[in-house]
A and B are shown apart, each in its own frame.
Chain A
Amino acid sequence: MKYIDEYRDAKIARALLAALERNATRPWVLMEICGGQTHTLMRYGIDTLIPDRIELVHGPGCPVCVTPLEVVDKAIQIASRPDVIFVSYGDMLRVPGSSSDLLRVKASGGDVRIAYSPMEAVKIARANPERRVVFFGIGFETTAPANAMAVFEAKREGLRNFSMLVSHVLVPPAIRLLLESPANRVQGFIAPGHVCTVMGYWEYEALSRQYKVPIVVGGFEPVDLIEAIGMLVAQLEEGRAEAENQYVRSVSFAGNRPAQKVLGDVFEVTDRKWRGIGVIPQSGFRLRPEFAEHDAERIFGLADTAVEEPAECISAQVLQGLKKPVDCPAFGVRCTPENPLGAPMVSAEGACAAYYQYRRDTVKTS
């Protein structure tokens, strides 16, 4: 497929790796923010092909992983109601809440459906006017415009039976939190290419300047990621700290203006709790008051309940790049994709699931 195959070309990858081997003279710690990129790095073994002196740590960019337990519990409560059709991206179904998950709600008779696009939920609402259709609106800036369009469309059509449980999060406040942590070891970031497709990378230029840290917007294919790593190492070796764009075929400095417009029309920025991390100020979206009649949280009047994560799960450290999945004593033993303790083992983008899929033979699980 065009724009995919050529970025999996082994010859180009080898040339980029050889250049990296020559250029990296010192040890550097780099973080890829996005879970999709973590997955590519593991799948192609890029972490084992780059020079040993470059360490890759994995960031919090897995929306399924950072959706807080309280919100998963709310989703489960709503989905359990007999008058509700609950529609979700597939990844969320097996994420453990404090006592159940959406898949179990479905198994015990709840009408829980998987959708590829939020517009499918709008279609379901149109076809079932007597039922309440609730879409689980999670994701980063990449997904937010699509979810915003669905709410916008429901309001335009007067589909009063459609609502959204919104738990949207934003990448730049999370990078800021990581950089301000005394435990931070990350010296350069690969910024998420599809988030920046929507938002542009001017926010990352500001972060790079403020914290004097190199940031390179990267794509998702192996050649993209090796090139982005090479660009970060070049900056670090030369003592530069700039925001650069490797993923030029999709990302512009200003981003997608129509997408940003619909985001501004439908959502407003709010504090959000991140699973495993805690509340990050101004780090997410909620619906604007004009869309209150489509706000599931308001309609169903669910109060926040304090819930605890399983004590054994180290996802908090994993999501902040402080520990690797294989540092967890439960990894592959008491925590597997079939029986996950924490969300990073569930989502295909979670660092724990990526290690389980591609690296479990290299660690002892006894």
Chain B
Amino acid sequence: MCLAVPGKIVSVEEILGNRVGRIQFGGITREALLDLVPEAAVGDYVMVHVGFAISRVDEAEAARTYEVLAQMGMLEEDP
């Protein structure tokens, strides 16, 4: 129920007073409302839950923490 999926905003338009984004999830594109993430723009990744984006993925933070994990994975491979 609390599932949220990361997708990339490919376009944004105003429909009936709502900010609607087209969001790409892998090969699928779906609409989601962006009213709860006013800071999100085309090219950003957002977490989408029941048709609403609930956060903009913090790319810098994600890259930084992933770097630490990836290095750990590399180290483990070395004998």
Interface residues of A (CB under 8 A from B): 1-4, 6, 9, 11-12, 14-16, 18-19, 34-36, 61-64, 89, 91, 116-120, 138-140, 142-143, 145-146, 149, 153, 156, 192, 194-195, 197-198, 220, 223, 227, 248-252, 256, 258-259, 262, 347, 349
Contact = CB atoms under 8 A, between A and B. Distances in A.
B73 A12 contact: yes
B24 to A, nearest CB: 9
A63 B55 contact: no
With a 10 A CB-CB cut-off, give which of B2, B65, B76 has the most chain A CB atoms.
B2
A198 B1 CA distance: 14
Contacts of B61: 248-249
A12 B54 contact: no
A219 to B, nearest CB: 10
Nearest to B6: A3
Contacts of B6: 1-4
A145 B25 CA distance: 22
Interface residues of B, number: 38
B54 A256 contact: yes
B77 interface: yes
Interface string B62-75: 10011001101111
A-B complex: 8 closest residue pairs judged by Cβ atoms? A117-B51, A15-B76, A249-B62, A12-B73, A11-B73, A3-B6, A142-B2, A15-B72
A116 B66 CA distance: 31
Contacts of B57: 3, 249-250
A94 to B, nearest CB: 14
Contacts of A349: 1-2
B26 interface: yes
Contact of A197 (B8, B26, B54): B54
B22 interface: no
Contacts of A192: 2
A34 B76 CA distance: 30
Given A12-B70, A62-B1, A248-B58, 13 more contacts: A3-B6, A9-B73, A64-B1, A143-B49, A146-B49, A146-B51, A146-B52, A149-B52, A194-B4, A227-B69, A248-B61, A248-B62, A259-B36
A258 B76 CA distance: 42
Nearest to A3: B6
A366 B63 CA distance: 50
B47 interface: yes
B67 to A, nearest CB: 11
A9 B67 CA distance: 13
Contact of B49 (A19, A142, A153): A142
Contacts of A91: 1
Contact of B2 (A2, A19, A140, A256): A140
**Max count, chain A CB within 10 A of own CB: residue among B3, B36, B50, B70:** B50
Contacts of A16: 69, 72
B9 interface: no
23 contacts: A2-B8, A6-B66, A12-B70, A12-B72, A16-B69, A16-B72, A18-B76, A34-B2, A91-B1, A116-B51, A117-B50, A119-B33, A143-B2, A143-B50, A145-B54, A194-B2, A248-B61, A248-B62, A249-B61, A256-B55, A258-B37, A347-B1, A349-B2
B15 to A, nearest CB: 11
A149 B1 contact: no
B10 to A, nearest CB: 13
Nearest to B38: A258
